[in-house]
Amino acid sequence: MRLVLPIITILIALALLLPGVTQPVLTLEGKIDKSKLAQTGIEMLADEGDRNTRNMLMMASSMLGLDKLEGEINAYQKTRSIWGTVNELADNKNYLVAALVAFFSIVIPTLKLLMQLLYIFLPVNKFKHMLGQVIQGVTKWSMVDVFVIALIVVYLAGNADGQMGELINMHAELGVGFWYFTGYCLFAIAASSLIKTDIKSS
């Protein structure tokens, strides 16, 4: 009966990991104020001309009401999951980073949970003791998957900042994948703590 709770915890962690990896983790959206866009266009054209050209453009803009435009235009939007980020990194020939992200956020968590599940069902023997030591070794890397999320956030923000200037107002929103992945992390930690005693005592 005491094995039921760790088994359920591991199965829930595995169930949360899949959508945590495949569902959107972060959405970045950039909007431009219409009046600011018109002003920037005038300044760009005026840079190539003289003061008279600038004054004429400003007057035309005022007559057309471009300086009083209201609202915003969607100029940038990117939504990424962990798996989507791996694909994008690979497409941009960042193979090492793509492999590391996939390894630490998908392969290691899945293997760790499956090994813990196997460990619970094994009878006490030498193999179970060895498996327990392997699980302890893998657990030392358990915080890396959290840093993967931070890496994705920085990567998306860096891309957006590199493409957009001060003209665009950026807005970030966490996606459902972030919450699934957070749930996986919590249940994985709970599973590790539930079977920790067994690993040490075997």
Contact present, 73 and 34 (Cβ < 8 Å): yes
Q: How far, in Å, CA of 106 to CA of 180, rounded?
A: 13
Give, in order, the Cα–Cα distances in Å from 172 to each of 20, 160, 166.
18, 11, 16
Q: How far, in Å, CA of 53 to CA of 67, rounded?
A: 17
- 3-class secondary-structure state, position 28: strand
Position 122 pLDDT exceeds 70: yes
> What is the CB neighbour count within 10 angstroms for residue 160?
18
Contact present, 76 and 168 (Cβ < 8 Å): yes
Per residue in 10-68, pLDDT tens? Answer: 999 999 999 999 999 888 777 776 666 556 655 655 555 566 666 655 665 565 555 56
Contact present, 36 and 72 (Cβ < 8 Å): no
| pTM recorded for the entire structure | 0.70
Position 162 pLDDT exceeds 50: no
Q: What is the pLDDT of residue 94?
A: 86
Give the ranges where the chain is alpha helix by DSSP (H): 4-22, 34-47, 51-64, 82-91, 95-102, 108-121, 126-139, 144-163, 176-201
Contact present, 13 and 184 (Cβ < 8 Å): yes
The whole-chain average pLDDT of the chain stands at 76
